[in-house]
Amino acid sequence: MKTILLAWLAVLMAGTAAQAAGTECIVPSKPGGAMDFTCKLARQGLLSLPEHGGAPMRISYMPGGIGAVAWHALVSQRRAEPDTLVAFSGGSLLNLAQGKFGKAKADDVRWVAALGADYGMIAVRADSPYHTLGELVTALKHHPEQVLIGVSGTIGSQDWLKIALVVKAAGVDPKVLRFVALEGGGEAFTAMHAGFVQVVSGDASEATLYSAGGSTRVLAVLSEQRLPGVLAKVPTAREQGYDVVWPVIRGVWMGPQVSEADYRKWVSAFDRALASPQFAQARASYGLYPFSLTGPALTAYVKKAVDDYGKRASELGLVR
């Protein structure tokens, strides 16, 4: 009980500090992953707007429960903060659909802006014996106990689903795989490079960052076609015989009791930022692809996505 009380005290103190510090973007995971990139992209896009006057957005980290800690902190304790944004992804919507945020629903918060799209990918270390997705799947089929797979979240998370769908397409039961649940893509890549896991099932934006130094080999991207940029030479899973495509939306939301005026202010700000050539360049630098929705249009998209994820999760027996 003492530990829980101390945790909530920390949340309340963080909320007070955030209000004093001005605009804040909360990353609901540890530093270095795609959620982190989302807040940094939001900050970079808004800096170019005259009304922000070059004032930087503070980025803070609130990992825990694959996003549940940040969700409940804002919904229960920081409901009306007018200058606090929280990063989200398609994985956040999947967690909502599966009941991993408790009784939370999409209507519980205010959806502000989708900043871009990402895609799933499967990666290993550059010195790994696996050079193709087929070689990895063969190893998982015959010796699954020898391969540890790092994922952000637990069984049923989007990172789990990505590789589960790949091996299922090859006739392998995902239940035989060995997973290590981690907090965010940054931690997953760190674990792989340290040798604690042999494979990362994550996102292309993360792979763009971690493959730049030559220490990572991306075996496949889960997109319809090959992606431009750093990963241009990486084949899709479809090319390698596994018909799995996994797009990932990335954006920001706000607390449920933020005033309509403040909410509209942020929606308008992101409308202008998303339309600028500078934002397009920044988005590309973070390994993301064009996908822009704000305000009511984004809210409608999120509700439909949560419904669709819920149906898919039910088919796999993953809904709580």
Cα separations (Å) of 75 from 34, 260, 261? 22, 16, 19
Q: How many CB atoms lie within 10 A of CB 114?
A: 21
- Which candidate, 239, 253, 260, 236, places its Cα nearest to that of 294? 253
**CA angle, 274 then 275 then 279, to 5°:** 55
| Parts of the chain with a pLDDT under 50 | 1-20
pLDDT, residue 229, reads 85
| Distance from C-alpha of 291 to C-alpha of 115, rounded to nearest angstrom | 6
Domains and CATH numbers, the chain: 24-117+247-316 (3.40.190.150), 119-240 (3.40.190.10)
Torsion angle of alpha carbons 219, 223, 229, 235, nearest 10°? Answer: 40
Quote the tokens at residue 246: 């996994």
pLDDT, residue 255, reads 96
Q: How far apart are the first and last CA of the chain?
A: 26
- With contact defined as beta carbons under 8 Å apart, do 231 and 218 qualify? yes
| Helix axes of 185-193 and 34-47: crossing angle, nearest 10 degrees | 130
pLDDT, residue 320, reads 59
Torsion angle of alpha carbons 137, 141, 144, 146, nearest 10°? Answer: -70
pLDDT, residue 297, reads 97
- With contact defined as beta carbons under 8 Å apart, do 249 and 90 qualify? yes
Which run of H or E residues covers position 112?
Answer: strand 110-125
| Phi/psi of residue 61, nearest 5 degrees | -120, 130
pLDDT, residue 51, reads 66
pLDDT, residue 319, reads 64
203 DSSP β-pair partners: 120
Quote the tokens at residue 141: 């089929």
149 DSSP β-pair partners: 179, 199
